[in-house]
Structure 1
Amino acid sequence: MRRVLLVDGYNIIGDWPELKALQGSDLEGARDLLIQYMAEYQAYTGIEVTVIFDAHMVSGLGKKLQNYAITVIYTKEKETADERIEKLVNDLKRIDTQIYVATSDFVEQRVIFASGAYRKSARELRTEMKQIEKGIEKEVSKTKKSKIKTKLPITDEMAEVFEKWRRGKR
Structure 2
Amino acid sequence: MAERSYMIFDGYNVIGGTERYRTNSTGSLDDSRELFISDCLKAAGWTGAEIFIVFDARGPSENHEIRAGGAARIIYSPSGQSADDVIERLLAHLTGNKTVYSADFALQRTALARGAKRATPGEFQALLNELPAVTRNPNKRARSRIVDRLSRETLESLEDVRRRAGEREE
TM-score by length of 1: 0.72
3-state DSSP of counterpart to 1:41: helix
CA distance in 2, matches of 1:52, 1:74: 6
Could you say which residue in structure 1 is the equivalent of 2:113?
Answer: 114
Give 1:30-49 correspondences, 5 Å limit: 30-49=32-51
Could you say which residue in structure 1 is the equivalent of 2:68?
Answer: 67
Deviations 1:99-137 (A, max 9, x none): 1100010111011101111101111111011111xx235
Give 1:14-25 correspondences, 5 Å limit: 14-22=16-24, 25=27
Deviations 1:37-58 (A, max 9, x none): 00000011101111000013x6
CA distance in 2, matches of 1:27, 1:98: 30
With over 3 angstroms needed to count, the CA separation of the structure-2 counterparts of 1:138 and 1:50, relative to structure 1, is: closer
CA distance in 2, matches of 1:137, 1:99: 25
Contact 1:22–1:29, Cα closer than 8 Å, also in 2: no
With over 3 angstroms needed to count, the CA separation of the structure-2 counterparts of 1:90 and 1:127, relative to structure 1, is: same
Deviations 1:43-102 (A, max 9, x none): 11101111000013x64222100012211001101110111000000011x3xx101100
Identity of matched residues, %: 27
Shift of 1:36: 0.3
Supply the AA of the counterpart residue of 1:100: T
With over 3 angstroms needed to count, the CA separation of the structure-2 counterparts of 1:22 and 1:37, relative to structure 1, is: farther
Q: Which runs of 4+ in 1 moved over 4 A?
A: 22-25
Any unmatched runs of 5+ in structure 1?
Answer: 140-170
Contact 1:22–1:30, Cα closer than 8 Å, also in 2: no
Could you say which residue in structure 2 is the equivalent of 1:83?
Answer: 85
Shift of 1:25: 4.8
Supply the AA of the counterpart residue of 1:89: L
Give the structure with the higher percent helix: 1
3-state DSSP of counterpart to 2:133: helix
3-state DSSP of counterpart to 2:41: helix
CA distance in 2, matches of 1:84, 1:10: 13
Contact 2:45–2:135, Cα closer than 8 Å, also in 1: no
CA distance in 2, matches of 1:71, 1:118: 19
3-state DSSP of counterpart to 1:55: coil
Could you say which residue in structure 2 is the equivalent of 1:166?
Answer: none
Shift of 1:9: 0.4
Could you say which residue in structure 2 is the equivalent of 1:126?
Answer: 125
Give the paired residue count: 133
* RMSD of aligned residue pairs (Cα, Å): 2.0
